Every structure is written in structure tokens, then in C-alpha cells.
Amino acid sequence: MINYEEQLIEIINQDNYILSILKAVEKLNSNDAWICAGIIRNKVWDSLNNKRTPINDIDVIYYDSSDTSWEAEKLLEEKLEFLLPHEPWSAKNQARMHLKSNFDPFRSSYDGVAHFPETPTAVAIRLRNKEIEIMSPYGLKDLFEKKVKPTPFYQKNSDHHSIYIERVTSKKWEEKWRDLIVEI
């Protein structure tokens, strides 16, 4: 049986840039801070296709129900900028992200990642005691098999399916990675 977690850890451990990002996030000393989404998805797809695509942003998620202000997110981005300057940091508190798509409040970063639109994007990683931890509510199989499918919250006949359709259409992933299988 293929161990996708081991493969992801190996890919990340071979990328000094992503390791430096993980180390910066670890220095925040947050119990629930992770890097997630596109930076991981694109790294795996690039690795599987022997290419390198530009990084648009570095999504950092965390959960803090005591301060859901936009200013708190900006302060976290400033701390990250201090730790690792000139990077496209984007911090999002999952305690308020449910409002973006009209869901019930999330209870953790895991809950936030579970509500991402696509299965290969619903992945987060962090360093903990020098070890890479992986959070993948739907597993890593779709990511490594280059399959783009909606998570349960964005399935056909759901109120949120149009968000999934808009994302996969606007991202144009199939132009960058031609062997993707995109479910509409």
C-alpha cells in the first residue's frame, strides 16, 4: 500500500524553502498554526511533474476564538514577516472563516481545513518538535493521484457547489498540470 504521508514528508524535507516557512510558523508558538492549501498542493503536483510554479501566497491558518479581528491576523502576518521577510504571508483565523461561506462556526483549524472546497487543497502541515505533522481530513490520495474533487461541503446539489465550480474554473490548474483529473 502506498504511504502518501511518507511521500509528502519526503517532498517537504527536500525543500529548504518550505522548511524555512514551517520553522517561522513554529516560532509563533501557537498550538494550532499550520501552513496549508496551495503551497502544499502545488509543491506536490510540481514534484510529480518535475516542474516549479511560482508561489502566490503562503496560507497560514490558526484558531483563536478569543480574538477574531482582522487586526489580529495582520499582527500575525507582521510577526511572520519579521521572522521570514519578503514572503507573501496570508494568515487566517479559522474561528472567523465560517462567515466567508456561511457555515456554522468552526471549532478548530482542522474544522476549517475540512471546509476547504477541494480535497487536494484540504491539507495542512506544521513542524512540531522538529517533526512534520500532517492534517488531511480527506486523506492524501486525491492530492497524489492529481484528482480535484469537492469536499463534502461543496458536493453537487449543495448550497456551496457553485463556489467549488468557480474556484476550479478560475484557478486554471489544468493549464499548469495537464494530467489533472477535475471533477465538476
Q: Residue 135 is part of which domain span? A: 4-182
pLDDT of residue 173: 94
Q: What is the pLDDT of residues 12-24, one digit of tens each?
A: 999 999 999 999 9
* Cβ-Cβ contacts under 8 Å for 140 (sequence gap 6 or more): 4, 5, 7, 8, 123, 134
Domain count, the chain: 1
Q: What is the mean pLDDT of residues 37-61?
A: 96
100's grid cell: 466567508
Strands 147-148 and 181-182: parallel
Q: Which pLDDT band holds residue 102 (cuts at 50, 70, 90)?
A: confident
Classify each residue of 15-26 as buried b or exposed e, where b means 16 or more C-beta atoms within 10 Å of its C-beta: eeebeebbebbb
Query: Mean pLDDT over all residues of the chain?
Result: 94
Burial class (CB in 10 A: 0-12, 13-18, 19+), 93: buried
What would the grid cell of residue 166 be? Answer: 468557480
The alpha carbon torsion through 93, 90, 184, 119 (nearest 10 deg) reads: -60
Write out the three cell numbers for 148: 480535484
Most confidently predicted of 21-25, 153-157, 174-178: 21-25
Is-above-0.75 flag for pTM?
Answer: yes
- DSSP-based three-state secondary structure for 6: helix
Distant-in-sequence, close-in-space partners of 9: CB < 8 Å, separation ≥ 6: 132, 134
Summarised one tens digit per residue, pLDDT across range 117-150 is 999 999 999 999 889 999 999 999 999 999 999 9
